[in-house]
Amino acid sequence: MGIQMGRFKVMQKTSQASDVVTLKLEPIDPFNLDFKPGQFVNLYIQREGETLLARPYSIASSPTNQKYLELTIKIIEGGRFTPRVASLKEGDIVKVGGPFGKFFFLDEEKMKDVVLIGGGCGITPFISIIRYVADRNLDTNITYFYSARTMGTILYKDELESIAEKHPNIKLVFTCTRENSSEWKGEKGRISADMIRKYTDVNNPDKYYMLCGPPEMIKALVEALKGIGIAEDRILHESWSA
Ligand SMILES: Cc1cc2nc3c(=O)[nH]c(=O)nc-3n(C[C@H](O)[C@H](O)[C@H](O)COP(=O)(O)OP(=O)(O)OC[C@H]3O[C@@H](n4cnc5c(N)ncnc54)[C@H](O)[C@@H]3O)c2cc1C
């Protein structure tokens, strides 16, 4: 499948947190939605009297959903692009190019056991993979480590919990870095090698580790994983440098 470019209509715009926008984009022009879960597209937005701008965004929907592409985007105050995302309205037209990227769920034969690691909006490639594995009823073992500032900012929480309930091969480990409420019973602090070791068998050589997030986080976690003996070719990562 080649790279495509097409117009999409904003069919729905919702907000999972005060600074996070989720867009459902419906193709207007012919666009093959058979991407690989984990890949990204370039989103182009042109506002009247302004130049055309684009940024890459991982696709949050699964290719099992052929109706629309879902993107979840953190709005950065003073950012050059994301204020344009914030000002989109349902019915607006944007352009999408893609799919791109080599960071994706390889295939169900190769990846029987995978650890997904990310935080904040870095959930997008992983919710795509989890939706894909669940929709296709694959027996892939997934442990997903997700870090958020507070329990109220865990994106896709209800959907993830409902998938994990129906699919015992999908396990979730949520950790909050700034949660003080006694209601929070999950992990606290950043994702670390110790935390990964607590919930997964790191001695299983067939396991893959997929990491997504800002470059500093990726760097620290790749080192930590190598430090506990994980082979480099088992660690796949994508960093979102601004
Ligand atoms: C492959 C790939 C996939 C991506 N997928 C997603 C996705 O699914 N969702 C998503 O929200 N973003 C994603 N990004 C990041 C996205 O492409 C933009 O970099 C981001 O939206 C910043 O846009 P901006 O132009 O408004 O900010 P800029 O004008 O580029 O940045 C403004 C200021 O904010 C800082 N900044 C940039 N990004 C962040 C951040 N995330 N948190 C805090 N400060 C920041 C910058 O250092 C700068 O100081 C992805 C990036 C890559 C490379």
State the pLDDT at residue 48. 87
Tell me which DSSP letter residue 30 carries: -
Residue 80 near ligand 1, beta carbon < 6 Å? yes
Residue-wise pLDDT tens digits, 66-79: 999 999 999 999 99
- pLDDT score of 25 more than 90: yes
Q: Is the pLDDT of residue 95 over 70?
A: yes
pLDDT confidence of 219, banded at 50, 70, 90?
very high
Which atom of ligand 1 lies at the shortest distance from residue 55's CA?
17
Q: Ligand 1 atom 31: the closest Cα is on which residue?
A: 79
Q: How far apart are CA 59 and CA 127, in angstroms?
A: 9
| In the chain, % of residues over pLDDT 70 | 99
Q: Please state the rounded mean pLDDT for residues 58-64.
A: 97
pLDDT for the residue numbered 1:
63
Pocket test for ligand 1, best of 57, 102, 147, 241 (most atoms within 8 A of CB): 57
pLDDT by residue (tens digit) across 168-201?
A: 999 999 999 999 999 999 999 999 999 999 999 9
* 126 Cβ below 6 A of ligand 1: no
- Going from the N-terminus, what domains does the chain have, and what CATH number goes with each? 4-100 (2.40.30.10), 113-239 (3.40.50.80)
| Residue 122 neighbours by CB under 8 Å, 6+ apart | 212, 213, 214, 240
Q: Determine the pLDDT at residue 180.
A: 92
Quick check: CB of 56 below 6 Å from ligand 1? Answer: yes
- 52 C-beta closer than 6 A to ligand 1: no
CA of 81 relative to ligand 1 center, distance in Å: 9
Biggest CA pair distance of the chain: 57
pLDDT at 137 over 80: yes
Q: Cβ distance 40 to 13 under 8 Å?
A: no
Split at pLDDT 50, 70, 90, the class of 36 is very high
Whole-number Å distance, alpha carbon 173 to ligand 1 midpoint, is: 25
Whether 81 is in the pocket of ligand 1, judged by its Cβ within 6 Å, is yes
Å from CA of 85 to ligand 1 middle: 12
Burial class (CB in 10 A: 0-12, 13-18, 19+), 37: buried
**194-213 mean pLDDT:** 95
Distance of CA 191 to the CA centre of its chain: 16
Q: What is the pLDDT of residue 242?
A: 57
Model confidence band, residue 155 (pLDDT cutoffs 50, 70, 90): very high
Asked if residue 112 has its Cβ within 6 Å of ligand 1, the reply is: no
Mean pLDDT of 105-123: 92
> What contacts 163, CB < 8 A, 6 or more positions away?
130, 131, 134, 170
Mean pLDDT within 124-136: 98
Give the per-residue pLDDT at 241: 78
Average pLDDT value over all residues in the chain: 95
Q: Is 242's C-beta closer than 6 angstroms to any atom of ligand 1?
A: yes
Q: Which of 57, 78, 51 is nearest to 8 (CA)?
A: 57
**Contact in structure between 58 and 212 (CB atoms under 8 Å):** yes
